[in-house]
Amino acid sequence: MKRTPFYSMHVALGARMVPFVGWEMPVQYKGLIEEHLATRTACGLFDVSHMGEVFVSGPGAWEQVQRLITNDLGKIGPGKAIYSPMCLPSGGIVDDLITYQFSKDKFLIVVNASNVEKDFNWMKKNFDGVEVENKSDEYAQLAVQGPKALAVMSGITEAKLDGLAPFTFVESKVAGVDAIVSRTGYTGEDGFEIYFNAEKAEPVWNAIMKAGVPHGLMPVGLGARDTLRLESGLMLYGSDMDENTTPLEVPLKWTVSFEKEFIGKKALLEKKTTKKLVGFELVERAVPRHGNEVYVDGKRVGVVTSGTFSPTLKKPIGMCFVPPDHPKEKRIGIRIHEKIVEANITTTRFYRRDAK
């Protein structure tokens, strides 16, 4: 089992450590709901060092990455990042990625922990004439998320974070350590993701904790990371999508640019969708979970991909697959503990911070 460079800090904080895709990770420190709400109202600190970092460099890198991902690199430029799936020729999603552009010849692609090897091999197979390096083990990654994230980070970096737009990044120093700081995250809140040398894990962690605690910052485990992303309509690879799912079957149409060439384009143009991912809310108190069956008129039609009891909205929510022609107004039934619980179809974006 792999450990991140923050392992000893988690243990010292009394975190409950669990196995997660080959890593020993903190699932919670004080309590899932408390950590979730701290991120919504103040700030959360997340160790996400299990994520993978793949660097692509050399002449032609732009063209190679452009062909790899479904979204259009033409929308960004140096200093900016873009979210995109990369697909198989079948249109199935290999992974969903954040691609950071340093220059036309240098990119950082951040991949899911569960897919590091698969993605790295996929890129090597499909790239031609550029250098691809898997630097996942050299990098630590922390996320600082929440309405107080800017205040927390501003005190410990020279970077002008105030003017840093969403999905842009700077190379600067955090607590004196060289770091890439990007205004991105996986919680639906404002916040930052910070990439730096794994050997500098402790001083950076300690500086963020020291700067953050007066603002109400708490370390947050994978448990609340999952509920925060679900409330915000952010999908999880392996749960809500996989190689048997295309970006057109989940709410990722906005990340597919048919104006350009990319792997999987032909299939996405030609193939009919066989399912669609929707949000739902149960009409009574129960907790939907990944794998629960979805029924319409007594017939099994789909499956729950993610579910939880929303700590912010205080109701049971989830995402599930239904047939592509399922009308939004028609209730579905979710089989939970041998009972069918009724649910209304909703948007997948249950929570928006603007709405506060």
Binding site for other proteins (CB under 8 A): 27-28, 31-33, 223, 227, 285-287, 289, 308-309, 311, 316, 337, 339
| Minimum distance from residue 197 beta carbon to other proteins (Å) | 33
| Minimum distance from residue 29 beta carbon to other proteins (Å) | 11
28 C-beta neighbours (distance < 10 Å), count: 22
| Minimum distance from residue 31 beta carbon to other proteins (Å) | 6
Check: CB of residue 167 under 8 Å from CB of residue 190.
no
Q: Strand pairing partners for 145?
A: 44, 191
Question: Given the complex with other proteins, which of 96 and 226 has the nearer CB atom?
Answer: 226
Tokens representing 72 are 């259009």
| Minimum distance from residue 343 beta carbon to other proteins (Å) | 14
Question: Given the complex with other proteins, which of 130 and 222 has the nearer CB atom?
Answer: 222
Tokens representing 133 are 């390096």
| Minimum distance from residue 291 beta carbon to other proteins (Å) | 11
Check: CB of residue 326 under 8 Å from CB of residue 275.
no
| Minimum distance from residue 159 beta carbon to other proteins (Å) | 35
Amino acid sitting at position 93: I
Place of tokens 């930052």: 192
Question: Given the complex with other proteins, which of 243 and 281 has the nearer CB atom?
Answer: 281
For the chain, the residue count is 356
Question: Given the complex with other proteins, which of 149 and 236 has the nearer CB atom?
Answer: 236
Question: Given the complex with other proteins, which of 5 and 311 has the nearer CB atom?
Answer: 311
Question: Given the complex with other proteins, which of 208 and 304 has the nearer CB atom?
Answer: 304
